[in-house]
């Protein structure tokens, strides 16, 4: 059975940074929808340029497009691992589709971590990421649009998962080590699993 952990939170809150640390310490599989889309964008295909038109302007790609891409990756992942989803789902139709798809395979979302941080901190993190990674969508004006999109389209997922008793809210303020420590604790409490010393190759 695949067990899914969803990392939810606005752009710049630190989902990617936390994901890398969690994947290493718990040996989770990891699927970042943003990374998946950026790799298709860079492939130079027609689909890649369609995707670039959305990402570079801070808009969400159409639901069906990302649902198809992500679902294919989930089904390719080993079914005896925890899989950390970073950036998906981002809309109610995506969440409903994920639930339906997992249900068909006897899998389910086990836990949703909502990471939160102050707006000033999010802006500071995005600008320092821009300096390091040079992402086209990490400008202040695109960030403000992405935050609006988050409030309108993604924030309703908090109620969706709260109603299913899956949601754990974690503060994303402080150093990466502090944030990862809080998330690890939430995972250990909710799922009764421990960090492991040896990486499971399959995951």
126 binds ligand AMP (CB under 6 A): no
Q: Given the rule CB under 6 A, which of 32-40, 98-106, 158-166, 184-192 is the region that contacts ligand AMP?
A: 32-40
The region that residue 9 occupies, defined by phi over 0 for left and psi between -120 and 50 for alpha, beta otherwise, is left
90 binds ligand AMP (CB under 6 A): yes
Q: According to CB under 6 A, which one of 19, 22, 33, 172 is a site residue for ligand AMP?
A: 33
Nearer to ligand AMP, 66 or 122 (CB): 66
- Here the tokens at position 200 are 């499971």
130 binds ligand AMP (CB under 6 A): no
CA–CA dist 26, 48 (Å, integer): 32
CA–CA dist 59, 54 (Å, integer): 5
Residue 192 CB neighbours (<10 A)? 7
Subset of 2-31 contacting ligand AMP (CB under 6 A): 11
Task: Compose the 48-87 pattern: x for residues touching ligand AMP by CB under 6 A, - for all others.
Answer: ------xx--xxxx----x--------------------x
**What 3-state class would DSSP assign to 170?**
strand
Residues across the chain: 203
Give the residue among 84, 82, 91, 86 at the shortest CA–CA distance from 64. 91
Give the residue among 109, 113, 129 at the shortest CA–CA distance from 121. 129
Binding residue count for ligand AMP, defined by CB under 6 A: 18
Nearer to ligand AMP, 2 or 125 (CB): 125
Positions that interact with ligand AMP (CB under 6 A)? 11, 33-34, 37, 54-55, 58-61, 66, 87-90, 94, 137, 146
């Amino acid at each position: 059975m695949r067990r899914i952990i969803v990392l939810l939170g606005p752009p710049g809150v630190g989902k990617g940074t936390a994901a890398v640390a969690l994947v290493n310490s718990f040996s989770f599989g990891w699927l970042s929808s943003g990374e998946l889309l950026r790799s298709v964008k860079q492939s130079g295909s027609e689909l890649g340029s369609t995707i670039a038109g959305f990402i570079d302007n801070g808009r969400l790609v159409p639901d069906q497009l990302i649902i198809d891409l992500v679902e294919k990756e989930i089904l390719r992942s080993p079914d005896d691992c925890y899989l950390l989803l970073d950036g998906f789902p981002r809309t109610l139709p995506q969440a409903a589709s994920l639930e339906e798809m997992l249900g068909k395979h006897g899998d389910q979302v086990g836990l949703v971590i909502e990471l939160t941080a102050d707006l000033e901190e999010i802006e500071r993190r995005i600008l320092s990421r821009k300096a390091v990674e040079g992402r086209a969508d990490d400008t202040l004006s695109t960030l403000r649009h992405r935050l609006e999109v988050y409030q309108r389209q993604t924030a309703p997922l908090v109620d969706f998962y709260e109603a299913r008793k899956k949601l754990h809210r974690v503060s994303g303020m402080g150093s990466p080590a502090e944030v990862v420590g809080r998330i690890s604790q939430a995972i250990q409490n909710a799922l009764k699993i421990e960090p492991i010393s040896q990486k499971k190759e399959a995951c």
